[in-house]
Structure 1
């Protein structure tokens, strides 16, 4: 078969179209897989605010990708046109969390594999990915990262609190020290167990020279 035969009508008609039952099965499985990915995302999310819209985006992306790939594999003309159309599309939405990229790619890959007929691969692979993410999440965040914000009266109080923080936390690091006329503001990056987050604030508030103590969940880079 020569190059010119590619554009022959008989050649183009060789590509079968999807039946209604195949479309319903593929889209249904894509919906189930998308929901599973969204659930794992919610379970492993470690940011300050969980976005329900992002979970819906994962489901929709899996469905849209499956629909798109079914169209591509059914007709070579549409596949060539789709490549050209997608090559000019630019998405400029900033991804703040690195793990969000993993879930986006997972949803995209799941839709592609399902549309290609790899039902077992899509679900078995997704099951293994889910187990890995859940295991890594539970292992990594045994001691949760926090920002501890303190306002103290003077330098002596700041030095005393620094010793207490080292004793009460798994790890700690002074990130910022701001001196005002009547107080000093300290920001520590600390690692503590989740069940101890209230105890450390209560203990520090009882110390002499402290005016205010705040503990904020921290989802950025933290102590390794």
Structure 2
């Protein structure tokens, strides 16, 4: 029994034909390009990261290579897990969809490594169609409108915000002291876009109020484009 287990652990994989290896990498490259196109067309942030997209294609090829090396060799797979556990990835994922693309690349690489091409193409086709249809949906981003001025602005600012945004703007913070006042209003992208149809902008209206010193518009989203 011991000798059988040791033989199983020590035996390497049977060498595959060169044509099979080349076919695996060709299919991996095709699937990688499908993922590349999907990410490019479904990308919705202001700045498109071509470097990250190229990295996705490379990830498919690398995973294919790893699976070809490991194969059915248990001892080699355990050694590979130990080696990869040393690597630490410190790149922060800014968009939750980026995580989906990374897993998609890994699964495609695994499928190509074990020659499951049909599963890889059918699965990629379904995911590709879903992301193209729903990947372009943009969230209704939230913004903070920060207004600074003296105490005389309170009544006029609240009245202007109420009229300008048809009562939809929400006061998040109101800080006051003996001489100064700070307002923080929460706005959405739809509210800002709708207000563009007015004759004047909210900035024009606020600066027309005597006592308003500064107006800042800050996006609440933590997403920072690469």
> Match for 1:89 among 87, 90, 101?
87
Aligned pairs for 1:144-163 (under 5 A) are: 144-147=140-143, 149=145, 151=147, 154-163=153-162
Using the alignment, how far apart are the partners of 2:44 and 2:175 within structure 1? Answer: 29
| Unmatched tracts of structure 2, length 5 or more | none
1:8 corresponding residue in structure 2: 7
Q: TM (normalized to structure 1)?
A: 0.73
Q: Output one character per residue of 1:52-75: Cα deviation in whole Å (capped at 9) or x when no partner.
A: 221122111111001100111164
Q: 1:157 to 1:94 in 2, by over 3 A?
A: same
Q: 1:42 to 1:178 in 2, by over 3 A?
A: farther
2:191, 2:37 → 1: CA distance? 25
* 1:40–1:158 CA distance, 2 compared to 1 (3 A): farther
Cα offset for 1:115? 1.2
Higher relative contact order (CA 8 A, sep 6+): 2
Any gaps of 5 or more consecutive residues in structure 1? Answer: none
1:16-165 aligned within 5 A? 16-73=14-71, 75-138=73-136, 140-141=137-138, 144-147=140-143, 149=145, 151=147, 154-164=153-163
Q: Cα RMSD (Å) of the superposition?
A: 3.7
Give 1:100 deviation, angstroms: 1.8
Deviations 1:71-104 (A, max 9, x none): 1116444333213322343333332332221111
